[in-house]
Structure 1
Amino acid sequence: MTSQTSSPESTARRLPTWVTSFGPQIIAALIAGVALGLLAKTMGTVDDEPNWLTTTLDTIGSSYVSLLKAAVVPLIFTAVVSSIANLRAVSNAARLAWQTLLWFGITALISVTIGILLGVFMQPGDNASVSKDAEFSGSQGSWVGFLTGLVPGNFLGLGASSKVAESGDVTTSVSFNVLQILVIAIAVGIAALKVGKPAEPFLALNASALAVIQKVLWWIIRLAPVGTVGLIGTAVATYGWDTIGSLGMFALTIYIGLFLVLFGVYPVLIKAHGLSVRQWFSGAWPAIQLAFVSRSSVGTLPLTQRVTERNLGVSRAYASFAVPLGATTKMDGCASIYPAVSAIFVAQFFNIDLGFTQYLLIALVSVLGSAATAGTTGAVVMLTLTLSTLGLPLAGVGLLLSIDPILDMGRTAVNVAGQTVVPTLVAKRNGLLDTALYNARRQGDPFVDDSEQVEVALPVASKS
Structure 2
Amino acid sequence: MKRFSFSLQLLLGLVVGIALGFVAKIWDVTWLAETLTKVGSIFVQLLKLAVPPLVFTAVLVSVANLRNVNGAARLATKTLVWFLITAAISVALAIGLGLIINPGQGVTLDTGSAKAPEHTGTWLDFVTGILPTNIVTAFTDVEVLQIVFLGVVLGAAALAVGEKAEPFLNLARSVLELVQKALWWVIRLAPIGTAGLIGKAVATYGWDLLAPLAKFSAGVYAGCFLVLLAVYPTLLAVWGKVNPLRFYRNAWPAIELAFVSRSSVGTLPLTQRVSVERNGVDADYASFAVPFGATTKMDGCASVYPALAAIFVAQVFGIPLGVGDYLLIAFVSVVGSAATAGLTGATVMLTLTLSTLGLPLEGVGLLLAIDPILDMIRTATNVTGQMVVPVLVARSEGRLDTAVFDAPPQPLDQPRAARVAEPATA
Q: Is the 8 A contact 1:156 1:181 kept in 2?
A: no
Amino acid at match of 1:224: A
| Residue aligned with 1:346, SS | helix
Q: Is the 8 A contact 1:129 1:247 kept in 2?
A: no
Kindly provide the CA deviation profile for residues 268-297 of structure 1, in whole angstroms up to 9, marking residues without a partner as x. Answer: 111113222222222222222222222222
Q: In 1, Cα distance between the equivalents of 2:289 and 2:10?
A: 27
1:276 maps to what in 2? Answer: 243
1:170 maps to what in 2? Answer: none
The structure with more helix, counted as a fraction of residues: 2
Q: In 1, Cα distance between the equivalents of 2:273 and 2:131?
A: 31
Judged with a 3 Å threshold, the aligned counterparts in structure 2 of structure 1 residues 225 and 136 are, in CA distance, closer, same or farther, namely farther
Correspondence 1:160-175 to 2 at 5 A: 175=141
TM superposition shift of 1:95:
0.9
Correspondence 1:165-204 to 2 at 5 A: 175-204=141-170
TM superposition shift of 1:218:
1.7
1:364 maps to what in 2? Answer: 331
Aligned residues: 416
TM superposition shift of 1:331:
1.3
Judged with a 3 Å threshold, the aligned counterparts in structure 2 of structure 1 residues 241 and 286 are, in CA distance, closer, same or farther, namely closer
1:226 maps to what in 2? Answer: 192
Does 1 or 2 have the higher relative contact order (CA < 8 Å, sep 6+)? 2
Q: In 2, Cα distance between the equivalents of 1:86 and 1:407?
A: 40
Q: In 1, Cα distance between the equivalents of 2:221 and 2:413?
A: 26
Kindly provide the CA deviation profile for residues 57-112 of structure 1, in whole angstroms up to 9, marking residues without a partner as x. Answer: 22222222222222332233223223322333221111111111111111111111
Q: In 1, Cα distance between the equivalents of 2:315 and 2:324?
A: 16
TM superposition shift of 1:226:
1.8
Judged with a 3 Å threshold, the aligned counterparts in structure 2 of structure 1 residues 177 and 139 are, in CA distance, closer, same or farther, namely farther
| Residue aligned with 1:431, SS | coil
1:311 is the counterpart of 2:290: no
Amino acid at match of 2:177: A
Q: In 1, Cα distance between the equivalents of 2:320 and 2:17?
A: 41
Q: Which of 430, 448, 452 is the equivalent residue of 2:414? A: 448
1:42 maps to what in 2? Answer: 26
2:48 maps to what in 1? Answer: 69
2:216 maps to what in 1? Answer: 250
Find the structure with the greater CA-based Rg. Answer: 1
Q: Is the 8 A contact 1:89 1:317 kept in 2?
A: no
2:12 maps to what in 1? Answer: 28
Q: In 1, Cα distance between the equivalents of 2:372 and 2:256?
A: 16
Judged with a 3 Å threshold, the aligned counterparts in structure 2 of structure 1 residues 82 and 119 are, in CA distance, closer, same or farther, namely farther
Judged with a 3 Å threshold, the aligned counterparts in structure 2 of structure 1 residues 145 and 309 are, in CA distance, closer, same or farther, namely closer
TM-score (norm 2): 0.90
Amino acid at match of 2:105: D
Correspondence 1:259-274 to 2 at 5 A: 259-273=225-239, 274=241
2:393 maps to what in 1? Answer: 426
Q: In 2, Cα distance between the equivalents of 1:131 and 1:377?
A: 27
1:120 is the counterpart of 2:104: no
Q: In 1, Cα distance between the equivalents of 2:150 and 2:355?
A: 27
Kindly provide the CA deviation profile for residues 192-212 of structure 1, in whole angstroms up to 9, marking residues without a partner as x. Answer: 222222222222222222222
Residue range with higher mean Cα deviation, 141-150 or 385-394 = 141-150
Q: Is the 8 A contact 2:60 2:151 kept in 1?
A: yes
TM superposition shift of 1:130:
4.2
1:134 maps to what in 2? Answer: 114
Q: In 2, Cα distance between the equivalents of 1:282 and 1:401?
A: 33
Q: Is the 8 A contact 2:108 2:316 kept in 1?
A: no
| Residue aligned with 2:308, SS | helix
Structure 2 gaps of 5+ residues are 419-426
2:171 maps to what in 1? Answer: 205
Q: Which of 379, 404, 411 is the equivalent residue of 1:412? A: 379
Judged with a 3 Å threshold, the aligned counterparts in structure 2 of structure 1 residues 69 and 340 are, in CA distance, closer, same or farther, namely same
**Structural RMSD (CA):** 2.4
2:70 maps to what in 1? Answer: 91
% identical aligned pairs:
57
Q: In 1, Cα distance between the equivalents of 2:126 and 2:285?
A: 28
TM-score (norm 1): 0.83
Q: Is the 8 A contact 1:126 1:348 kept in 2?
A: yes
Amino acid at match of 2:88: L
TM superposition shift of 1:176:
4.5
Kindly provide the CA deviation profile for residues 210-267 of structure 1, in whole angstroms up to 9, marking residues without a partner as x. Answer: 2222222222222222222222222222222221222221111111111111111111
Q: Is the 8 A contact 1:61 1:231 kept in 2?
A: yes
Q: In 1, Cα distance between the equivalents of 2:184 and 2:386?
A: 19
1:8 maps to what in 2? Answer: none
Judged with a 3 Å threshold, the aligned counterparts in structure 2 of structure 1 residues 234 and 177 are, in CA distance, closer, same or farther, namely same
| Residue aligned with 2:141, SS | strand
